């Protein structure tokens, strides 16, 4: 575990979400399959950036995943739930770098670096953030 992830707690993250584990998430070793962790990270990102009570995106725009680098720290076991933390680390012209983490029963099980790109659905290309979007994203850096 790196110094950057050592001591991480769910409370350290502006975005907090959870997922219920399904039996079908498990593999032959009886723990949650590594591929499911990408879905956990997606849940965390979506709940932060697509929050209907605090919309970030305008019509015709979305986010696309550009990078997902997951560090597996401990196994996750069924049944139960996991908690997912998401926070903004850096805001670029049209992309956002996030740190994410998955916890089960308060224990850090995985961390990830995620980059998403602001995407124009008409041109199918990246699109710069508006000043309002940029300020909101910057505010999430220190929100936790």
Does 4 fall in a domain? Answer: no
Does 63 fall in a domain? Answer: yes
Total count of domains within the chain: 1
Does 5 fall in a domain? Answer: no
Q: Output the domain CATH number for residue 87.
A: 3.10.129.10
Q: pLDDT per residue over 72-113, tens digit each?
A: 999 999 999 999 999 999 999 999 999 999 999 999 999 999
Does 55 fall in a domain? Answer: yes
Does 83 fall in a domain? Answer: yes
Does 42 fall in a domain? Answer: yes
Residue 132: domain span: 10-140
Q: What is the 3-state secondary structure of the chain?
A: CCCCCCCCCHHHCCEEEEEECCHHHECCCCEECCCHHHHHHHHHHHHHHCCCCCCCCCCCEEEEEEEEEEEECCCCECCCEEEEEEEEEEECCCEEEEEEEEEECCEEEEEEEEEEEEEECCCCEECCCCHHHHHHHHHHHCCC
Q: Which pTM does this prediction carry?
A: 0.91
Strongest mean pLDDT among 32-41, 47-56, 134-143: 32-41
């Amino acid at each position: 575990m790196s110094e950057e992830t050592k001591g991480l707690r769910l409370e350290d993250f502006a975005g907090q979400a959870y997922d219920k584990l399904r039996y079908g998430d498990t593999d032959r070793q009886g723990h949650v399959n590594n591929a499911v962790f990408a879905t956990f990270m997606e849940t965390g990102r979506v709940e932060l950036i697509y929050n209907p009570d605090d919309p970030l995106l305008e019509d015709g725009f979305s986010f696309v995943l550009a990078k997902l680098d997951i560090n597996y720290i401990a196994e996750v076991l069924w049944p139960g739930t996991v908690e997912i933390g998401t926070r903004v680390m850096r805001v670029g012209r049209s992309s956002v770098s996030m740190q994410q983490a998955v916890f089960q029963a308060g224990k850090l099980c995985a961390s990830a670096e995620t980059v998403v790109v602001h995407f124009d659905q008409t041109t199918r290309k990246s699109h710069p953030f508006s000043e309002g979007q940029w300020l909101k994203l910057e505010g999430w850096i220190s929100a936790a």
